[in-house]
Amino acid sequence: MDTLVLHVHASSNNTILSLTDANGRVIVNASGGTVGFKKAQRAGFEPAYQATVHIANAVREKAIPVNKVELRLKGFGAGRDAVFKAVHSVTNWAVCRVVDTTPVPFNGCRPKKARRL
Amino acid sequence: MMNGFALFRGLTSRTPATAIFARAMSTGTPAGGAQSALEVRMKFASNLNSMVANQGASVVGRSVPVASGGANRAYMRLNRILSDNGIRRELQLRRRYEKPKYKRQRLRQESHARRFKEEVKQKVHLIMRMKNWGM
């Protein structure tokens, strides 16, 4: 496959990264937890940055040819910006497309009730 | 030049977009090779489709191809798209259920605030123009 896709799930509690091929088959996984942070510390700039470094190292070790990378961002956590900056400072990947895949319902499921009632 | 549709809608051909639309939607005179309304609509839709910038992507909306400006520009453009469309705000609202009463109240407040700010903006513009005229 030509284009690899880096899925970034940036929630308010953690950042999960998945490098997959264009079809969605996973090559490498990394998250705030896999790089050694625990519980609440997984949310933040640093774990997301280190997770990207982890993925970059794994790709280099496995000698996977990286031509183009599509960045798919999901959620608005702290890891969102962190991963983008890390991809530019740590790796030399050519980002071909930046996509936002945050799921927005067209009035789907009813959310939980409001707090403080 | 103005067809029935344009006349009905009160569209003039002064604005380019409406002129294009009116021309595209016209079914043509019987003498000049009439197309059925459905054919015209299908052709218009396919023309619009070809103008979509994100042809090769699996996600069409909220997707920005990286051009000569670099990935930073693309990322900024994506953030601009998100903020212009209020995606973040919408997700905040959807996090917890908002009862119909509070939703109606909020919409009324927003509408009022929007109208008020518009009025203020117009007054300020007028004052600036009067200042330029030397009043």
Q: Are residues B72 and B20 in the same domain?
A: no
Q: Are residues B44 and B71 in the same domain?
A: no
Question: CB-based contact (8 Å) between A36 and chain B?
Answer: no
Q: Are residues B4 and B42 in the same domain?
A: yes
Nearest residue in chain A measured CA to CA from B82: A100
Q: Are residues B3 and B57 in the same domain?
A: yes
Contacts of A96 in chain B (CB under 8 A): 65-66
Instruction: Choose one of B61, B87, B107: the last residue of a domain.
Output: B61
The CATH class of A3-100 is alpha beta
Find, among B48, B45, B25, the residue nearest to B35 by Cα: B25
- Contact residues for B59 (Cβ-Cβ < 8 A; gap 6+): A72, A99, A101
Q: Are residues B72 and B90 in the same domain?
A: yes
Q: Are residues B48 and B5 in the same domain?
A: yes
Instruction: Choose one of B15, B39, B61: the last residue of a domain.
Output: B61
Domain span at residue B69 reads 65-96
Structural domains of chain B, count: 3
Residue of A70, A99, A102 best to disrupt the B interface, most CBs of B under 10 A = A99
Contacts of B69 in chain A (CB under 8 A): none
pLDDT in tens, B73-122: 999 999 999 999 999 999 999 999 999 999 999 999 999 999 999 999 99
For tokens 């970059």, what's the residue? Answer: A56
Smallest Cβ–Cβ distance between A111 and the set B74, B88, B95 belongs to B95
Whether the Cβ atoms of residue A3 and residue A70 lie closer than 8 Å to each other? yes
Q: How far is it, in rounded angstroms, from Cα A99 to Cα A22?
A: 14
Give this complex's ipTM. Answer: 0.89
Residues 43-72 in A contacting B (C-alpha not used; CB under 8 Å): 70-72
Q: How far is it, in rounded angstroms, from Cα A78 to Cα B39?
A: 49
SS3 at position A6 = strand
Identify the pLDDT of residue B31.
44
Secondary structure element (H or E) that encloses residue A3, with its range: strand A3-10
Q: Are residues B43 and B70 in the same domain?
A: no
Between B64 and B28, whose confidence is greater?
Answer: B64
Find, among B6, B116, B113, B62, the residue nearest to A72 by Cα: B62
Is a pLDDT exceeding 80 seen at residue B127?
yes
Q: Are residues B11 and B57 in the same domain?
A: yes
pTM, rounded to two decimals: 0.73
Q: Are residues B26 and B74 in the same domain?
A: no
